[in-house]
Amino acid sequence: PFGHSCQMLGIVVGLCSFLISRVGEDWIFLILLGLVMALVSWVMDFCIALCLQAQKWMYGGLDSNLVLQYLAWVTYPVVLISFSAGFTHIVAPQAAGSGIPEMKTILRGVVLKEYLTLKTFVAKVIGLTCALGSGMPLGKEGPFVHIASLCAALLSKFMSLFGGIYENESRNIEMLAAACAVGVGCCFAAPIGGVLFSIEVTSTFFAVRNYWRGFFAATFSAFIFRVLAVWNRDEETITALFKTRFRLDFPFDLQELPAFAVIGIASGFGGALFVYLNRLIVQFIRKQKAINKFLMKKRLLYPALVTLLISTLTFPPGFGQFMAGQLTQKESLVTLLDNRTWAKQGIAEEFEYIGHAAAWKHPQANVFVTLVVFIVMKFWMSALATTIPVPCGAFMPVFVIGAAFGRLVGESMAAWFPEGIHSDGVVYSIVPGGYAVVGAAALSGAVTHTVSTAVIVFELTGQISHILPIMIAVILANAVAQSLQPSIYDSIIRIKKLPYLPELGWGHHEKYNIRVEDIMVRDVRYITLNCTYRDLHDVLLTERLKTLALVESTESMILLGSIERAQLQTLLSQQLGRPRRLEYLRQQAQNERKHMSVASTPSSEEGNHKVNQEVRFQVSGWAIAEWEEQQLDEQVNFNNCKIDPAPFQLVERTSLHKTHTIFSLLGLDHAYVTSIGRLIGVVSLREAIEGSVTVKGVKVRPPLASFRDSGTSSSDAEVTELHKLWNRHTNLTLPRDPQPSDSDEKSQ
């Protein structure tokens, strides 16, 4: 039976290879990615819904006792969030947070270790499900981008089992870009918005051919995601996730546009404030050393405390009654996008609050108060909740707050103009739901610095009739927010000190006037073509750069190329390493033996042997030190060394603007500044990043800049190697090899 299953497996593998070679790996890969992500998204949504239902059920069942009810309401999310934080911390701490900042860095060509592994995948999926199941104001968009990228990375590893060209690095990056689109696409069932949003948040320069892949995979994924809902009898056919039913014939009046513009501008300020508040909280907790120390010890305390605070405030019979606390995030959004007007209108019949919308009604306070309280409370709660170290994003909470703000403006407008604004005969009353859509797009656009939230909104609601108000509001919100604060993702990049080249603001003229010569480092470490191993050794010990410049000579300074640090370390260890050392010892021994056989008489052989050996050891100990000195003084032989003969060069007059563009375009790490072939300076990415802190586990590897076949050697290991050499050299210890000549002969 085992042989049989093996045979079966062989056939399956063969079939797969055949399919792959026929249809093209890219297509199969994208289809599989879309399929897997749709399933993941659907299953997660299902689990999250179950969790939220369980909480409601518990809360509803205990309505006889307020204290028990409160305990149930509070304990449930605290347990879930604590579990999520603990699980994430133990399995893969990289899984915490949004993931978009890290993907942005990875797509730029930086290798973040452990970011795309199976462990992280498991931690992210389970952690996110628990976090969202707790009902905290957290989002799933950012984590989904990360999950999709994880999926793509794992899938490409899996597919390389069937052969193919999945080792290519730039190809991998292209696939990751498509994966980001899939992530957003299947999270909101918004393929177009997904592609555009992922481009905006992760790329600086975008290859249009990737666009295609992203569209294909995201559409397929969104399709499967929605088909699953139909098959599960949740829906009759494929429609939008948060379908609205605004009237088509007269969506809004031209005279309402100022109100939409106000929403846009206010959202811009709100978005900037959100980013600022989020950063402030993180920095406050970091700076307060006492708090920090305490929290570091009890890692789960901070998430638990934050959750306790937030869930206490939203407790429906308590303060929660003023902010529709009983509604989940999804329910809030559905009610906010409601077709009807909530505020009492001049018309006699009062509005009937049906279903979830009833939560917004309060006997004492009117709808406006509920909305204002909701906006203010959710605002700081979301900013606080997103600092919890669990997998979570900020998009959805911000989206809901924006919708609430839009609804507030809309309801005010409806109260102000009960007959509508339009003057020509027909009464077209104002649609506050339309304002909610505009507000949602504007605030989420302001926080993320994207315009494509507009498209996401169209796809989420299934209506495009408010396109102009939405576009105007989103653009205004972006204009305001971008001039005040970085995007939430760039803010996290700065907080986490990820190695990312920040964008240059546009409209600033200085960047055209600053030149490379103003920022370059003039004291470049280099090696010359005729240097000795000792020079090499010295340079390696004093210089920490990943690549070193190779010049013709100190006089001419003509740049010949650059050599990776690892290559130089190999050169040095080859020269001083064990094989050559042993070879030398063997020769020494042979020489000595010859000498001995002449000098010593055969009769005294046995007695002399021990003494001789000791002498030999001492002699060779000194000899090896001398030998090392000799070796270090030899000229370096670069023949077997991989040299990058065309490192990127700039001239001193290149403007900062151009330099920035080129660095972003090519994903450069550093560039040499030359003047007619002569090396005069170096500019590196690290300098451009403020702080220039070396992040642990980060290795900058530009995707396009280097044209050599770079090996996959781990540089850490080689550093150790070098240190060993160094210690050996200073201590002049002898290699403790029992059979020097034996092993040497084998290796030859």
Let me know if 365 is exposed, middle or buried by CB neighbors in 10 A (0-12, 13-18, 19+). Answer: middle
Question: Of 401-430, which residues contact a copy of itself (CB under 8 A)?
Answer: 422, 424
Question: Of 216-235, which residues contact a copy of itself (CB under 8 A)?
Answer: 216, 219, 222-223, 226-227, 230
Q: How far is the CB of 686 from a copy of itself (least distance, A)?
A: 21
CA 154 to CA 317: how far, in whole Å? 47
Q: Are 446 and 268 in contact (CB under 8 A)?
A: yes
Q: How far is the CB of 274 from a copy of itself (least distance, A)?
A: 20
Question: Of 663-722, which residues contact a copy of itself (CB under 8 A)?
Answer: 665-666, 674-677, 704, 707-709
Q: Are 218 and 185 in contact (CB under 8 A)?
A: yes
If one counts every other C-beta atom within 10 angstroms of the C-beta of residue 737, the result is 14
Per rule CB under 8 A, count of chain residues that contact a copy of itself:
91
The answer to the question of residue 262 lying near a copy of itself (CB under 8 A) is: no
φ/ψ region of 692 (left if φ > 0, alpha if ψ in -120 to 50, else beta) reads: left
CA 618 to CA 607: how far, in whole Å? 18
Question: Of 639-658, which residues contact a copy of itself (CB under 8 A)?
Answer: 643-646, 649-651, 653-654, 658
The answer to the question of residue 520 lying near a copy of itself (CB under 8 A) is: no
Q: How far is the CB of 141 from a copy of itself (least distance, A)?
A: 18
Question: Exactly one of 137, 139, 143, 191 binds a copy of itself (CB under 8 A); which one?
Answer: 191
Question: Exactly one of 4, 289, 297, 509 binds a copy of itself (CB under 8 A); which one?
Answer: 509
- Give the per-residue contact string, 91-130, with a copy of itself (x = CB under 8 A; - = no): ----------------------------------------
Q: Are 697 and 113 in contact (CB under 8 A)?
A: yes
User: Greatest CA separation found in the chain?
Assistant: 132
Question: Of 465-494, which residues contact a copy of itself (CB under 8 A)?
Answer: 465, 467-468, 471-472, 475, 478
Question: Exactly one of 46, 211, 351, 627 binds a copy of itself (CB under 8 A); which one?
Answer: 211
DSSP 393: B
Question: Exactly one of 1, 64, 205, 746 binds a copy of itself (CB under 8 A); which one?
Answer: 205
Q: What is the DSSP string of 19-72?
A: HHHHH-HHHHHHHHHHHHHHHHHHHHHHHHHHHHHHHHHHHHHTTT-HHHHHHH
Locus of tokens 């299934």: 462
Q: How far is the CB of 259 from a copy of itself (least distance, A)?
A: 14
Q: What is the 3-state secondary structure (H, E, C) of 466-527?
A: CHHHHHHHHHHHHHHHHHHCCCHHHHHHHHHCCCCCCCCCCCCCHHHHCEHHHHCECCCCEE
Residue number, 171 or 699, with CB nearest to a copy of itself: 171
Let me know if 17 is exposed, middle or buried by CB neighbors in 10 A (0-12, 13-18, 19+). Answer: middle
Stretch that binds a copy of itself, among 95-103, 397-405, 488-496, 662-670 (CB under 8 A): 662-670
The answer to the question of residue 517 lying near a copy of itself (CB under 8 A) is: no
The answer to the question of residue 589 lying near a copy of itself (CB under 8 A) is: no
Residue number, 619 or 665, with CB nearest to a copy of itself: 665
Sign, CA dihedral 339-441-49-43, equals positive
Whole-number Cα distances in Å, 51 to 44, 67, 136, 423, 485: 10, 21, 12, 50, 36
Q: Token pair of 380, please?
A: 């700081």
The answer to the question of residue 319 lying near a copy of itself (CB under 8 A) is: no
The answer to the question of residue 263 lying near a copy of itself (CB under 8 A) is: no
Question: Exactly one of 117, 172, 612, 661 binds a copy of itself (CB under 8 A); which one?
Answer: 661
CA 445 to CA 587: how far, in whole Å? 74
Q: How far is the CB of 458 from a copy of itself (least distance, A)?
A: 5
The answer to the question of residue 192 lying near a copy of itself (CB under 8 A) is: yes
If one counts every other C-beta atom within 10 angstroms of the C-beta of residue 496, the result is 14
The answer to the question of residue 208 lying near a copy of itself (CB under 8 A) is: yes
Question: Exactly one of 48, 196, 385, 443 binds a copy of itself (CB under 8 A); which one?
Answer: 196
The answer to the question of residue 203 lying near a copy of itself (CB under 8 A) is: yes
Q: Token pair of 542, please?
A: 């004093």
The answer to the question of residue 506 lying near a copy of itself (CB under 8 A) is: yes
Question: Of 17-46, which residues contact a copy of itself (CB under 8 A)?
Answer: 24-26
The answer to the question of residue 507 lying near a copy of itself (CB under 8 A) is: yes
Q: Are 310 and 385 in contact (CB under 8 A)?
A: yes
Q: Are 559 and 674 in contact (CB under 8 A)?
A: yes
Question: Of 140-179, which residues contact a copy of itself (CB under 8 A)?
Answer: 165, 168, 170
- Give the per-residue contact string, 597-636, with a copy of itself (x = CB under 8 A; - = no): ----------------------------------------
Residue number, 192 or 275, with CB nearest to a copy of itself: 192
Distance of CA 395 to the CA centre of its chain: 15
Question: Exactly one of 1, 22, 67, 236 binds a copy of itself (CB under 8 A); which one?
Answer: 236
Strands of the 649-650 sheet, one edge to the other: 649-650, 670-675, 678-684
Q: How far is the CB of 544 from a copy of itself (least distance, A)?
A: 25
- Mark out the alpha helices in 288-366 (DSSP H runs): 289-297, 301-313, 329-336
Nearest in space to 394 (alpha carbons), one of 382, 408, 402:
382
Whole-number Cα distances in Å, 516 to 231, 246, 651, 691, 702: 60, 55, 7, 19, 20
Residue number, 171 or 616, with CB nearest to a copy of itself: 171
Stretch that binds a copy of itself, among 81-89, 372-380, 501-509, 534-542 (CB under 8 A): 501-509
Stretch that binds a copy of itself, among 33-41, 215-223, 292-300, 581-589 (CB under 8 A): 215-223
Question: Of 544-563, which residues contact a copy of itself (CB under 8 A)?
Answer: 552, 558-561
- E strand spans, 543-626: 547-551, 559-564
- Give the per-residue contact string, 366-405, with a copy of itself (x = CB under 8 A; - = no): ----------------------------------------
- Give the per-residue contact string, 439-468, with a copy of itself (x = CB under 8 A; - = no): ------------x--xx--xx--xxxx-xx
Q: How far is the CB of 463 from a copy of itself (least distance, A)?
A: 7
Q: Are 558 and 551 in contact (CB under 8 A)?
A: yes
Question: Exactly one of 57, 284, 512, 622 binds a copy of itself (CB under 8 A); which one?
Answer: 512
Q: Are 504 and 655 in contact (CB under 8 A)?
A: no
CA 83 to CA 68: how far, in whole Å? 22
Residue number, 165 or 598, with CB nearest to a copy of itself: 165
- Give 530's strand partners: none
Residue number, 341 or 465, with CB nearest to a copy of itself: 465
Residue number, 56 or 171, with CB nearest to a copy of itself: 171
Q: What are phi and psi of 618, to 5 degrees?
A: -65, -45
Q: How far is the CB of 454 from a copy of itself (least distance, A)?
A: 7
Q: How far is the CB of 45 from a copy of itself (least distance, A)?
A: 18
Find the radius of gyration of the CA atoms of the chain.
33
Residue number, 588 or 649, with CB nearest to a copy of itself: 649
Q: How far is the CB of 32 from a copy of itself (least distance, A)?
A: 16
Locus of tokens 């606080």: 384
CA angle 203, 209, 211 (to 5 degrees): 55
Q: What are phi and psi of 532, to 5 degrees?
A: -95, 170
Residue number, 246 or 380, with CB nearest to a copy of itself: 246
